[in-house]
Chain A
Amino acid sequence: MGMGGGNKGQGRVTMSEINVTPMVDVMLVLLIIFMVTAPLIQQGVKVNLPEAKAAPVEAAEKKLVLSIDAGNRVFIGDAEVLLDELEKKLAANAKAQSEKEIYLHADRDVPYGVVVEVMAAAQRAGITNVGMITDPASKGTRTDPAPGSTGSKGGKKEAKR
């Protein structure tokens, strides 16, 4: 496409284009992060979710969920993957690549550094939106979210407030 690139060996040609590479780099740093409430997410991996009072987003459909359990093990869905392979797996994943969005389902005791590594791997794999799954600040009662136990919206067993 570039006008500068095509003339093989015929001397130099002035680049008449804006170099967009630095701009792309800036864009890639931007990762859109939002909160997702736990009751809508059925997940096989057992984690203690952090609580957050931030206004949650309601999950509309099933997104790909990355889990990090208390032992810092990483899962795509309920399949454990090595952190080294995470980027490759996500880059090849048709669901993640078409939606450009994943949900992160990490235990509250996972070190910040691990979470950042996982988010960076997702970002390198081209995923721009990361939903942080949290417990919707239900007065600290939920220490064990009983994986896969909640289903339809409304969260009938939440009995919050």
Chain B
Amino acid sequence: MKALLLSLLLLPFAAFAQAPVIQISGANFRPLPLAYPAPLTVDDGGKKATADFDDPFLFDLRASGLFQVLDRASFTADAKEGITAGSINFARWSDVGAESLVKVQLGAEGGTLRGELRLFNVGSGREDFKASHAVPTSEPRQLAHFLADALYRHLTREPSPFLSHIVFVRKARDNRDVWTADWDGNNARALTSGGINLLPALGPDGAVAYTSYRKGQPDLYLQKPGSEAQPIVQNGQMATGVAFSPDGKRIAYAQAQGESTQIYVANTDGSDPKRITDTPYGINSSPSWSPDGKRLAFVSNRGGSPQIYVMNVDGTNARRLTFQGNYNQTPDWSPRGDLIAFTARDERNAFDLFSVNVDTGKITRLTQDQSNNEEPVFSPNGRLILFSSTRTGTAQLFVMTAEGNNPLPLPMGKGGGLTPDWAP
């Protein structure tokens, strides 16, 4: 279990005065044992915000895959312990197994909620990092995500997924609606109301594209923040599986064409569509862009069964990537470039998640024996995978590390989610 595919290294960054950097790759990664006691509060406003701050902050820490978040039930520290190194009895934190200690202090004045975070190295008893941020008192969750992001950036030198957004489909009786939400599934808002709306994609600027039957036929729509949905592909042929290019300027999608389904690339408003696959029969679908925007991963059954392929954006150089299994679909290209995650139906007819290395073709299994798991999508920093799973009975959104470790359900309440997409 400890063989997580990441590694914890102490790199001597001159500019950062020996602050530890968590190197999230390599075979010897071990989650950092981290103690995070309940936030300190300086006034009643801070007290009131505590619960709404604490839950998302803890979820961010737990879901990041970086930390072994220690059980508060074990803590022995004095309840009056403060937020400065001088007031902290580090031996007591070391006694509960902590290597790092995060303390947060909340206070509210006027309409502003202020949070201060400090990170301590328990071994040396030193303060390694501090950050503070202020939000309107109505937004304690945003404060939690912001401070968790600051901590993640300090420890990894990478942006966290905590400030990103997701889009997904939620069932409601006979309808399928498109919803957007914060990365942890909270703050969810329905973009559509009624009808059948499918396979949404989230662009880097917050635009959402999806397939909708609102006019009786499956057309593609684009909905920019704060404006109405506009039809962008509307020609009576089924258009699905839209995906934004990393720069947000183009879309790729699949469109039925007589006996076959072909992949098209167009401008985001649907103009200038170009067909880039050309098989006489069969299906080419589910395009996913490479991070440099030069290639697409897609599904094709040109070899007999649905398999993952990659090709250039102009349709040249199509190459089959998966040779195991006979039903591989829904590829998602990691923003780090090296991996493509996909859904496969295995020998027991269960759907499970796998990843394939784009260069070597090496396949890694990410889920197993947990009912059906489908539709993987990488976080914008490539470290986590969001997917839908029926392991709890109904389809719920789960997040896990890109190596398949530490799966957690999104704390988003009722309704569940399907076919997620994720963007900064």
Contacts and interface: CB of A to CB of B under 8 A. Distances in A.
Do chains A and B stick together as partners? yes
Contacts of B33: 94
A93 B74 contact: yes
Nearest to B69: A94
A62 B90 CA distance: 14
Given A78-B91, A78-B92, A79-B92, A94 B76 contact: no
Contact of A95 (B72, B78, B89, B97): B97
Contacts of B96: 93-95
Nearest to B98: A94
A136 to B, nearest CB: 24
Interface string A70-89: 00000011110100000011
A95 B70 CA distance: 10
B92 A94 contact: no
A92 interface: yes
A89 B95 CA distance: 11
Contacts of A89: 73-74, 76
Contacts of B70: 94
Nearest to A62: B94
Interface residues on A, range: 20 to 34
A152 interface: no
A110 interface: no
B95 A64 contact: yes
B363 interface: no
**Counting chain A CB atoms within 10 Å of each CB, which of B74, B77, B78, B91 scores highest?**
B74
A98 interface: yes
Contacts of A93: 71, 74, 95-97
Nearest to B73: A92
B51 to A, nearest CB: 21
A92 B74 contact: yes
B312 interface: no
Interface in A134-150: none
B69 to A, nearest CB: 10
B73 A88 contact: yes
A39 B74 CA distance: 27
A79 B73 contact: no
B62 to A, nearest CB: 14
Given A95-B97, A98-B97, A77 B91 contact: yes
B68 interface: yes
A6 to B, nearest CB: 13
A106 to B, nearest CB: 17
B287 to A, nearest CB: 41
Contacts of A81: 76
A94 B99 CA distance: 11
A88 B33 CA distance: 19
B71 A79 contact: no
Given A88-B73, A89-B74, A93-B74, A77 B97 contact: no
Contacts of B94: 62, 77, 95
A45 to B, nearest CB: 12
Contacts of B73: 88-89, 91-92
A93 B95 CA distance: 8
Nearest to B96: A93
Contact of B71 (A44, A65, A92, A98): A92
Contacts of A90: 74
A76 B94 CA distance: 11
A30 to B, nearest CB: 24
Contacts of B92: 77-79
A102 to B, nearest CB: 10
B95 A94 contact: no
A22 B95 CA distance: 34
Contact of B68 (A65, A77, A94): A94
Contact of A94 (B74, B77, B89, B91): B74
Interface in B31-90: 33, 68, 70-74, 76-78, 89
B95 A77 contact: yes
Nearest to B70: A94
Given A94-B68, A94-B96, A95-B95, A77 B74 contact: no
A44 to B, nearest CB: 8
A63 to B, nearest CB: 10
Nearest to B77: A79
Interface string B93-108: 0111110000000000
Contacts of A94: 33, 68, 70-71, 74, 96-98
5 contacts: A65-B95, A89-B73, A89-B74, A93-B71, A95-B94
Top 10 nearest A-B pairs by Cβ distance? A94-B97, A95-B97, A79-B76, A92-B74, A77-B95, A92-B73, A92-B71, A93-B74, A94-B70, A76-B76
Interface of A: 44, 62, 64-65, 76-79, 81, 88-98
Given A65-B95, A81-B76, A93-B95, 9 more contacts: A77-B76, A78-B89, A79-B78, A88-B73, A93-B96, A94-B33, A94-B96, A94-B97, A95-B97
Interface of B: 33, 68, 70-74, 76-78, 89, 91-92, 94-98
